Chains A and B, each alone.
Chain A
Amino acid sequence: MVELNAAVALLGRFPALTGVDLRIEPGETVLLQGPNGAGKTTLLRLCAGLLAPESGSVTVLGHDLTTGPERRAVRRRVGLLGHSTGLYEDLTVTENVRFWARAAGLDAEPSVERVVGALQRLGLDDGLLDLPVHRLSAGQRRRTSLAALVVRRPELWLLDEPHAGLDQAGRNVVDTLIGDAVAAGGTVVVSSHELERVRSLSPRVVTLAGGTVHRDTNA
């Protein structure tokens, strides 16, 4: 599913990952932790095909991500929730979710039921669906961004601080979402600073420090 061997990645000239060895099996949930600047976000972006490894090897869903075409090919199979929401302010919640589903290569326009279902699962009530995104709160935007991932049903979920900006109810929804993704056979990698919350999601915790895997526990 995901395999990195001595993977090195640069941010500009700065080596953000200095030699990561990591293997994640299909259907597994892995928690990434580590201090700021440890390389968590870079690792997720590398696995999503947004960054090219400077050296070493990175294979995700059978794609060798050292080549550009393979990096582009893997992106449609991966769902990355990053720090920004990627939403268009002047489009409505529903229009945003549909756009991102179509952009990700879903052959048919996702049905209204599917879009609404995804939004409702994330606690966005019907009254919000036709509102432009610029009228939403930060938490509602975050949920909309997550809904865009849910509709796509990616094989590999890469969630970077998915609880950030959400209230308690929203955080519970994210936990349920991760559980659902795993139950549906998806593989999930979650980066979070909220250790107590995320530890309940998976026994496997990978700790990054200084751009490399410092500890990999499965207890």
Chain B
Amino acid sequence: MNRFLADARLVAAKDLRIEARSRVVLNQVAPFALLVLVLFGFALDADQRTLRAFAPGLFWVAVLLCALLAVQRSVSVEQADGALTGLRLSGMSPAALFVGKAAAVFVQLVVLEVLLTAGIIVLYGSEIEQPLLVVATGVLAAVAVACTGTLYGALASGLGVRETLLPILLLPVLAPVLIGATRAFDDALGNAAVDGWAWLGLLAVFAVVATAGGALAHGALVEE
């Protein structure tokens, strides 16, 4: 178990260090996320009340689009010069590799969610009525998206056409996360009379299944 955690921590720290150096999320994905929010505003041509009503859905669509970029980046650093072969050769447990990669994507998603939350408050005029529900939804959805994205990223990279295939594979699978997180945010932002905590249950189940399923299936995907 110690070896597993040490390996997962090693991979996560490595990915986050690479991100800190390359600043792809900070300089490219984060501006893209804000741009998406702005473009949604233009496309809906709406006043702030309408934007506030749609804010939860727009927020989570933006998160999913950013997640695609983060996952593709996570996959590409291992593909660039045969690093994935090196990781296989290291004898590291595929499950530890999965957890480490997913953890790094999770951290990046949380940063993006914080930024997007500020974005909907400033741009759409949203107000947070239940901060705890917002945080819990953000964390659970980030776990679900990071784990599912890491798993499908490995699947798409094995097929050799990850850039185009990943969105087609991943987005439909993440539809329950989009729905659950949007409903929970509807409640947290005071947009609709729904039980956000009940939808949080769906996110929790999805997150657990994605984590366990990813850890179990990752080995088969990274092995030739």
Chain A residues contacting B80 (CB-CB under 8 Å) are: 88-89
Residue A203 CB within 8 A of the other chain: no
Given contacts A103-B7, A104-B91, A105-B90, contact A84 B81 (CB under 8 A): yes
Contact between chains at A90 and B22 (CB < 8 Å): yes
Residue in B80, B82, B91 whose Cβ sees the most chain A Cβ within 10 Å? B91
Contact between chains at A76 and B81 (CB < 8 Å): no
Chain B residues contacting A75 (CB-CB under 8 Å) are: 88-91
Contacts of B67-86 to chain A: CB distance below 8 A: 77, 80-83, 85-86
User: How long is the Cα–Cα vector from A103 to B21 in the complex, in angstroms?
Assistant: 20
Contact between chains at B81 and A89 (CB < 8 Å): yes
Residue in B10, B21, B82, B86 whose Cβ sees the most chain A Cβ within 10 Å? B86
Give the A interface residue count (CB, 8 A). Answer: 30
Contacts of A56-88 to chain B: CB distance below 8 A: 68, 72-76, 78, 80, 82-88
Q: Which of B6, B83, B223 contacts A88 (CB 8 A)?
A: B83
Contact between chains at A103 and B87 (CB < 8 Å): yes
User: How long is the Cα–Cα vector from A140 to B83 in the complex, in angstroms?
Assistant: 17
Residues 77-114 of A, flagged 1 when their CB comes within 8 A of B and 0 if not, give 01010111111111100010001101111000000000
Residue A43 CB within 8 A of the other chain: no
Contact between chains at A103 and B92 (CB < 8 Å): yes
Chain B residues contacting A105 (CB-CB under 8 Å) are: 3, 90-92
Min C-beta distance of B76 to chain A, whole Å: 10
Give the B interface residue count (CB, 8 A). Answer: 26
Q: Which of B3, B11, B85 contacts A84 (CB 8 A)?
A: B85
Residue A132 CB within 8 A of the other chain: yes
Chain B residues contacting A51 (CB-CB under 8 Å) are: 224
Q: Which of B17, B82, B93, B224 contacts A86 (CB 8 A)?
A: B82
Chain A residues contacting B87 (CB-CB under 8 Å) are: 103
Min C-beta distance of A131 to chain B, whole Å: 12
Contact between chains at A76 and B91 (CB < 8 Å): yes
Chain A residues contacting B90 (CB-CB under 8 Å) are: 75-76, 100, 103-105
Contact between chains at A91 and B18 (CB < 8 Å): yes
Residue B14 CB within 8 A of the other chain: yes
Q: Which of B17, B89, B223 contacts A48 (CB 8 A)?
A: B89
Of the A-B pairs whose beta carbons lie under 8 Å apart in the complex, a sample of 21, sorted by A's number, is: A48-B89, A49-B89, A74-B91, A80-B89, A82-B85, A84-B82, A87-B81, A88-B14, A88-B18, A88-B77, A88-B80, A90-B17, A90-B77, A91-B18, A99-B10, A99-B14, A100-B90, A103-B7, A103-B11, A103-B86, A104-B90
